[in-house]
Chains A and B, each alone.
Chain A
Amino acid sequence: SRRLHDRKRPYRVTELARLIYDDSKTPAEVLRAWAGASEAEGAVQIEGDAERVDDEDFFRKVALNDEENAEDRMIPAYDYRKLEEKWTDEANIEVLRRRFAFTSLLEDEANG
Chain B
Amino acid sequence: MSDQQLNAIRFTGHKFLTQRLVLSTLTGRPIRVSQIRSSSPTSPGLLPHEVSLLRLLEAITNGTIIEFSYTGTTIAYKPGLITGSASGYGAGSGGIITHDIPSSCTRGVSFFLLPLCLLAPFSKAPVKVQFTGAGVITSATAHGDISVDSVRTAILPIYEQFGISGDIELRILRRSNPGYGGKGGGGEVQLTFGRQVRLPKTLHLLNPGRVKRIRGVAYATGLGGANNARMTEAARGLLNPLVPDTYIYSDVSAAPLLPLEGRAVGKDGKPAKRKVGIGFGISLVAYTSTDVLYSADMASPAEGGETPEDTGRKCALQLLESIEQGGCVSMAAAPTTCILMAMGAEDMGRIQVGRDVIGSEALIELARDLRTFGTSGWGLRDAEDDSNDVIVSIHGRGIGNVGRKIA
B238:A97 contact, CB within 8 angstroms: no
Name A84's closest neighbour in chain B (CB-CB).
Answer: B317
Q: Determine whether B297 belongs to the interface, using a CB cutoff of 8 Å to chain A.
A: yes
Q: Determine whether B69 belongs to the interface, using a CB cutoff of 8 Å to chain A.
A: no
Q: What's the tally of chain A residues with a CB closer than 8 Å to chain B?
A: 43
Residues of chain A within 8 A (CB-CB) of B41 are 62
Contact residue among B18, B297, B388 (Cβ-Cβ distance under 8 Å from A7) = B388
B380:A74 contact, CB within 8 angstroms: no
Q: Determine whether A53 belongs to the interface, using a CB cutoff of 8 Å to chain B.
A: no
Q: What's the tally of chain B residues with a CB closer than 8 Å to chain A?
A: 62
| CB < 8 Å A-B pair total | 132
Name B16's closest neighbour in chain A (CB-CB).
Answer: A72
B371:A74 contact, CB within 8 angstroms: no
> Are A17 and B317 CB-contacts (below 8 A) given A75-B332, A99-B210?
no
B380:A78 contact, CB within 8 angstroms: no
A93–B323 CA distance with the chains assembled, in angstroms: 11
A13:B382 contact, CB within 8 angstroms: yes
A72:B297 contact, CB within 8 angstroms: no
Q: Determine whether B271 belongs to the interface, using a CB cutoff of 8 Å to chain A.
A: no
Residues of chain A within 8 A (CB-CB) of B296 are 75
Name A75's closest neighbour in chain B (CB-CB).
Answer: B144
Chain B binding surface, main DSSP class: mixed
Q: Which of B96-104, B182-190, B259-267, B353-361 contacts A (4 or more CB under 8 A)?
A: B353-361
A75–B39 CA distance with the chains assembled, in angstroms: 25
B380:A102 contact, CB within 8 angstroms: no
A100–B360 CA distance with the chains assembled, in angstroms: 25
Residues of chain B within 8 A (CB-CB) of A69 are 37, 39-40
Residues of chain B within 8 A (CB-CB) of A102 are 212, 242-245
Q: Determine whether B331 belongs to the interface, using a CB cutoff of 8 Å to chain A.
A: yes
B211:A21 contact, CB within 8 angstroms: no
Name A5's closest neighbour in chain B (CB-CB).
Answer: B388
B140:A75 contact, CB within 8 angstroms: yes
A1:B324 contact, CB within 8 angstroms: yes
Residues of chain A within 8 A (CB-CB) of B362 are 27, 72
Q: Determine whether B367 belongs to the interface, using a CB cutoff of 8 Å to chain A.
A: yes
Distance between B100 CB and nearest chain A CB, rounded to angstroms: 22
Q: What sequence of 0s and 1s flags, for each residue 92-105 of chain A, a beta carbon within 8 Å of any chain B beta carbon?
A: 01001111111100
A41–B245 CA distance with the chains assembled, in angstroms: 48
A17:B318 contact, CB within 8 angstroms: no
B356:A4 contact, CB within 8 angstroms: yes
Q: Determine whether A65 belongs to the interface, using a CB cutoff of 8 Å to chain B.
A: yes
A21:B377 contact, CB within 8 angstroms: yes
A17:B359 contact, CB within 8 angstroms: no
A34–B364 CA distance with the chains assembled, in angstroms: 12
Contact residue among A21, A83, A98 (Cβ-Cβ distance under 8 Å from B367) = A21
A54–B362 CA distance with the chains assembled, in angstroms: 31
Q: What sequence of 0s and 1s flags, for each residue 29-46 of chain A, a beta carbon within 8 Å of any chain B beta carbon?
A: 011001000000000000
Contact residue among B140, B289, B331, B381 (Cβ-Cβ distance under 8 Å from A76) = B331
B210:A80 contact, CB within 8 angstroms: no
Distance between B19 CB and nearest chain A CB, rounded to angstroms: 8
Q: Determine whether B314 belongs to the interface, using a CB cutoff of 8 Å to chain A.
A: yes
Residues of chain B within 8 A (CB-CB) of A16 are 358-359, 380, 390
Contact residue among B40, B324, B378 (Cβ-Cβ distance under 8 Å from A99) = B324
A30:B144 contact, CB within 8 angstroms: no
Q: Determine whether B365 belongs to the interface, using a CB cutoff of 8 Å to chain A.
A: yes
Contact residue among A1, A62, A96 (Cβ-Cβ distance under 8 Å from B356) = A1
B243:A28 contact, CB within 8 angstroms: no
A80–B238 CA distance with the chains assembled, in angstroms: 14
B interface, CB within 8 angstroms of A: 14-18, 37, 39-41, 110, 114, 140, 143-146, 208-212, 238, 242-245, 288-289, 296-297, 313-314, 317-318, 320-321, 323-326, 331-332, 355-356, 358-362, 364-365, 367-368, 371, 377-382, 388, 390
Could you show 27 A-B contacts with beta carbons less than 8 Å apart? A4-B355, A5-B388, A11-B359, A17-B380, A17-B381, A20-B378, A20-B380, A21-B377, A31-B364, A34-B359, A71-B14, A71-B15, A72-B18, A73-B143, A74-B144, A74-B146, A83-B318, A84-B317, A87-B238, A87-B321, A93-B242, A96-B324, A97-B242, A100-B242, A101-B210, A101-B211, A103-B210
Q: Which 4 A-B pairs have the closest CB atoms?
A: A73-B144, A101-B212, A27-B361, A101-B210
